[in-house]
Amino acid sequence: MKKYINPENQRYVYYIRETLNGFAIQVLNVDRDERYPLTPAIAYKIGLTLPEDFRCDASDKTEVVAQLERLAKANGLIEIE
């Protein structure tokens, strides 16, 4: 599973998690070991730029992976293992 991090602020890890209705992008706060679903409010709070027509969740995993990649590109995030 792909995971991304901001090389300048390694406090948050962005990844995909399975939900009841499909898949969603999640944010892991590494300092507190807390996980949050990515929403526009959370993105604003942590300083992320959301691409236009961005979706944080979908029933198709491929679509959510594409959205995570768009998020990474828009914010200079790098993939980690």
pLDDT 10s digits, 43-68: 999 999 999 999 999 999 999 999 99
- The per-residue pLDDT of the chain, averaged, comes to 94
CA distances from 34 to 5, 7, 37, 59, 69 (A): 15, 19, 10, 24, 22
Percent of the chain at pLDDT > 90 equals: 93
- Indicate the number of domains in the chain: 1
Domain boundaries, position 30: 3-80
Instruction: Find the mean pLDDT for residues 22-48.
Output: 95
* Dist CA 18 CA 78 (whole Å): 22
User: Residue 81: is its pLDDT beyond 90?
Assistant: no
Instruction: Find the mean pLDDT for residues 19-47.
Output: 95
